[in-house]
Chains A and B, each alone.
Chain A
Amino acid sequence: METSMFCYQCQETAGCKGCTKVGVCGKPAGTARLQDLLIYATKGLSEVSTKLRAEGKDVPVTLDHYVSVNLFTTITNANFDDDVFNKRIMETLALRDELAAGLTDKSSLLDAATFTVSNATEIEEKAKDSRVGVLATKNEDVRSLRELITYGLKGLAAYMKHANALGFENKDVDVFTQSTLAKLQDDTLSVDDLVALTLETGKFGVDAMATLDTANTTSYGNPEITKVNIGVGGRPGILVSGHDLSDMEELLKQSEGQGIDIYTHGEMLPAHYYPELKKYSHLYGNYGNAWWKQKEEFESFNGPILMTTNCIVPPKGSYKDRIYTTGAAGFPGVKHIKGDNGKVKDFTEIIELAKKCQAPVELEKGEIVGGFAHEQVFALADTVVDAVKSGAIKRFIVMAGCDGRAKSRNYYTEFAEALPKDVVILTAGCAKFRYNKLNLGDINGVPRVLDAGQCNDSYSLALIALKLKEIFGLDDVNKLPIVYNIAWYEQKAVIVLLALLYLGVKDIHLGPTLPAFLSPNVVDVLVKNFGIAGIGTVEDDMKLFNL
Chain B
Amino acid sequence: MKAVINEGCIGCGMCVSTCEEVFRLNDDGLAEVYGEVTAANLDDAKDAESNCPVEVIEVTE
Contacts and interface: CB of A to CB of B under 8 A. Distances in A.
B19 interface: yes
A292 interface: yes
A365 interface: no
Given A15-B12, A405-B18, A406-B17, A24 B44 contact: no
Nearest to A16: B13
A197 B13 CA distance: 34
Interface in A395-443: 405-408
Given A26-B53, A405-B51, A407-B44, A19 B12 contact: yes
A150 to B, nearest CB: 22
A407 B11 contact: no
A292 B10 contact: no
Given A15-B11, A407-B18, A408-B17, A23 B51 contact: no
B10 A22 contact: yes
B14 A407 contact: no
B13 A295 contact: no
A407 B20 CA distance: 9
A33 B54 CA distance: 18
Contacts of B51: 292, 405
B13 A15 contact: yes
Contacts of A16: 13
A12 interface: yes
Given A406-B18, A407-B19, A407-B20, A22 B53 contact: yes
Contacts of B50: 295-296
Contacts of B44: 407
A24 B47 CA distance: 14
Contacts of A25: 53
A126 interface: no
Contacts of A392: none
A295 to B, nearest CB: 5
A446 interface: no
Contact of B11 (A14, A23, A295, A314): A14
B21 to A, nearest CB: 10
A21 interface: yes
A434 to B, nearest CB: 15
B5 to A, nearest CB: 15
A196 B35 CA distance: 49
Contacts of B17: 405-408
Contacts of B53: 22-26, 314
Given A295-B50, A405-B47, A405-B51, A24 B14 contact: yes
Contacts of A23: 53
Interface in B17-61: 17-20, 29, 44, 47, 50-51, 53-54
Contacts of B20: 407
A526 to B, nearest CB: 24
Interface residues of B, number: 16
A475 B9 CA distance: 54
Given A24-B53, A296-B50, A405 B10 contact: no
A292 B11 CA distance: 20
Contacts of A292: 51
Nearest to A513: B17
A295 B53 CA distance: 13
Interface string A1-29: 00000000000101110010111111000
Contacts of B13: 14-16
Contacts of B10: 14, 21-22
Contacts of B47: 405
A426 to B, nearest CB: 27
B12 A24 contact: yes
Contacts of B29: 15
A393 to B, nearest CB: 35
Interface string A292-331: 1001100000000000000000100000000000000000
B23 to A, nearest CB: 11
Question: Counting chain A CB atoms within 10 Å of each CB, which of B11, B17, B29, B47 scores highest?
Answer: B17
A14 B18 contact: no
Nearest to B49: A295
A289 to B, nearest CB: 12
A489 to B, nearest CB: 13
A292 B14 CA distance: 13
A290 B10 CA distance: 26
Contacts of A405: 14, 17-18, 47, 51
A15 B16 CA distance: 10
A325 B31 CA distance: 33
B27 to A, nearest CB: 14
A23 B52 CA distance: 10
27 contacts: A12-B14, A14-B10, A14-B13, A14-B14, A15-B12, A15-B29, A16-B13, A19-B12, A21-B10, A22-B10, A22-B12, A22-B53, A22-B54, A23-B53, A24-B12, A24-B14, A292-B51, A296-B50, A314-B53, A405-B14, A405-B17, A405-B18, A405-B47, A405-B51, A406-B17, A407-B19, A407-B20
The 8 closest A-B pairs by CB, nearest first: A14-B12, A21-B10, A406-B17, A24-B12, A26-B53, A405-B51, A295-B50, A24-B53
Interface of B: 10-14, 17-20, 29, 44, 47, 50-51, 53-54
